[in-house]
Amino acid sequence: MQKQKVIIIGAGPAGLTAGYELLKKDSNYDVTILEESNDIGGISKTINYHGNRMDIGGHRFFSKDQTVKDFWTNIMSIQGKQTFDDRILGREKTVNKNGPDPNEEDRVMLLRHRVSRIYYLKNFFDYPITLKFQTFKNMGLKLTFISGTSYLKSVVLKKEENNLENFYINRFGKKLYQMFFENYTEKLWGRHPRDISADWGSQRVKGLSITNIIKDMFSKTFNIKTETETSLIEEFMYPKYGPGHFWETVAAEFIKLGGHIKKNHQVVTITREKRKIVSVTCQTKNGLKEVRGDIFISSMPLKDLVMNIKPKVPKQYYAVAKGLPYRDFVTVGLLVKKLNIKNETKTKTVNNLIPDCWIYVQEPNIKLGRLQIFNNWSPYMVKDFTKTVWLGLEYFCNENDDFWNMDKKDCINFAIDELNKMGIIDKENVIDFHLEKVKKAYPAYFDTYSEINTLIDYLNKYDNLYCVGRNGQHRYNNMDHSMMTAFETVKNITNNLKDKDNIWRVNTEKTYHETKEK
């Protein structure tokens, strides 16, 4: 029997998962993945720069979905004959207490204790915000009183959740919203929260609120077992050489199963015949190349997919796609001798380094959004773990705005100056630097997003087209969500199911499956 040709656009988590699972379940498919870049992993790739590895935004491996966890276990068993059990992973309650552990040499996944904090007015606040003594001490008596009364008011007088601002105020009160959500959200999206759909909060934050923070605090204090809101999860797994190494393994296994990966193949045209996709045309190093297929799985940005369909889709759908917004991303890597901020937590670390994986920066007049400390994700990410600190400075911007177009050297100097201004480093302690840009890193929830369901309904009428992943669905999915859309797609293809609602329902349920905060 002639094999059906499956064309997958994008070698990120969704595309790789779909390809691997499809060939693993049924060898009667000829599967090819077309990747625009020369890298594997999409925004989950890991850059190796002079022996220091850079994660493009932190990717925590955590999920409540058993299928996802089974997939990770399977790949880890290929990499290092491991499972997820505590005996193999080890339970490192202290983050990197002694640096690289000889007992970790045969492991590919490390268990990490989550530490992420907010840096605001040169004080550290827990992220998500907690009701610990240190929080009240940082805020002071007056601000604590104002925040408390503001929250009580929000409990009694609920606002209509017709935007993200009201979503946050209903859960935290206006004062805490102004302190810890308003400016950071605007920095992230380039829009005020009142102009952003509440859908974003419903999807990313879900059950997080002051009430649930209190419940979580009491359950931990009295050892009461409860369903924990994912944003409050304290442990996660992380590949010792970064998530990119994990997805490179998936790609290698996909090829062993008979799959094909074509790098530097940018899809520029999707050709349709009525309601069926028949081919895609790629821009390659050797010019344009047409690739025909029977089934197409797309993880490319939904906007680009629709706008590149030929003949052109009806104008009402084209207009929705054209108006879908995105936020782009620049990471500046800085290798420094030391940080000026000392570790004042109870966590013991090498060289008294602060234990944070991420620091959310909310200092006034600072453009920097988040600061990653790669030493604390995995000591194997840093060439000289004991003598240097490898940082990732995350900036949110729009493609072709002033920051995006800034000269590389000027951008790096800008980043160094900001950390110096904040008192986190001294300029003279910078040893090396690197810069990475990511287009369409964040599908945004404003402009024509409110009309996206009409576009989804239209695309679902193409029997042989499946949209998966974060950009493929224009949904701020985490890694496990992206994988789950791939699992559902493979199930539909192998069982000849035509209804695609199950694919689009991923990450719309109440329970939240988080692998990363991005």
Residue 38: its H or E element: none
First to last CA, the chain: 44
The closest alpha carbon to 9, from 285, 253, 302, 252, belongs to 302
pLDDT of residue 312: 97
pLDDT of residue 99: 55
Q: Is the pTM of this model over 0.85?
A: yes
Residues of the chain with pLDDT under 70: 1, 79-107, 202-233, 509-518
The Cα-based distances of 272 to 298, 312, 465 in angstroms read 14, 9, 10
pLDDT of residue 204: 59
Please name the residue that has the structure tokens 């453009």.
Answer: 367
Number of Cβ atoms within 10 Å of the Cβ of 91: 9
Q: 434 has which bridge partners?
A: 333
pLDDT of residue 345: 83
Burial of residue 217 (CB within 10 Å: 0-12, 13-18, 19+) is: middle
pLDDT of residue 96: 43
The Cα-based distances of 489 to 101, 322, 498 in angstroms read 40, 25, 10
Joined together, the tokens standing for residue 242 give 């970064």
Percent helix, percent strand, percent coil in the chain, to nearest 5: 40, 25, 40
DSSP H stretches of helix in 370-515: 374-377, 408-422, 452-459, 469-472, 479-494, 501-504
CA angle 299-302-307, nearest 5°? 125
Cα–Cα distance measured from residue 20 to residue 17, given in angstroms and rounded to the nearest whole number: 5
Helix (H, G, I), strand (E, B) or coil at 71: helix
Largest CA distance in the chain: 76
Q: Are 216 and 232 in contact (CB under 8 A)?
A: yes
Q: Are 113 and 95 in contact (CB under 8 A)?
A: yes
Cα–Cα distance measured from residue 283 to residue 292, given in angstroms and rounded to the nearest whole number: 15
pLDDT of residue 92: 39
Cα–Cα distance measured from residue 62 to residue 357, given in angstroms and rounded to the nearest whole number: 15
Number of Cβ atoms within 10 Å of the Cβ of 356: 24
The Cα-based distances of 470 to 195, 294, 513 in angstroms read 22, 23, 14
pLDDT of residue 404: 98
Q: Are 392 and 368 in contact (CB under 8 A)?
A: no
The closest alpha carbon to 208, from 518, 469, 444, 514, belongs to 514
